[in-house]
Amino acid sequence: MTHTNNVTTPLFNRPALAKHMLIGAGIGLLVICFFVLGVRYPDPSWGSLWMLRPLIVTPLVGAICGACVYTMDRMRQHYGWNRAFVAAASVFGYFIGLWMGVILGLAGTMWD
């Protein structure tokens, strides 16, 4: 019996990782747009470009959280964890991370 060694198998699937990150960033962008675009009269002390920080930081954090969801799914496939546990942990972790991204994006403006 010959033993095959799959050393060349990739650690992650780049298109699937990119898909998870884009979905995470898109959700983050939608959430932060809900808060930012609802401001009719911003505080003059925030500056004229106050929207840029939340619109950049929150989708970036959403993309990072999407990568974490992808990693959890890969660990489930590799180690055979319970699908319901991984799904619940991924959703919980994503929303905690997204909440922290919203706080980081809005710090000094709406989150004071």
- The string of pLDDT tens digits covering residues 61-111 is 999 999 999 999 888 877 777 888 888 999 999 999 999 999 999 998 887
Nearby residues of 65 by Cβ (< 8 Å), 6 or more positions away: 24, 28, 93, 94, 97, 98, 101
Q: Is residue 55 within 8 Å of 104, Cβ to Cβ?
A: no
Is pLDDT above 90 for 8? no
Distance between CA atoms of residues 92 and 21, nearest Å: 16
- Nearest residue to 21 via CA among 53, 59, 58, 55: 59
| Residue 24's pLDDT band (cuts 50, 70, 90) | very high
pTM (two decimals)? 0.84
- Tell me the two tokens of residue 90: 């991924």
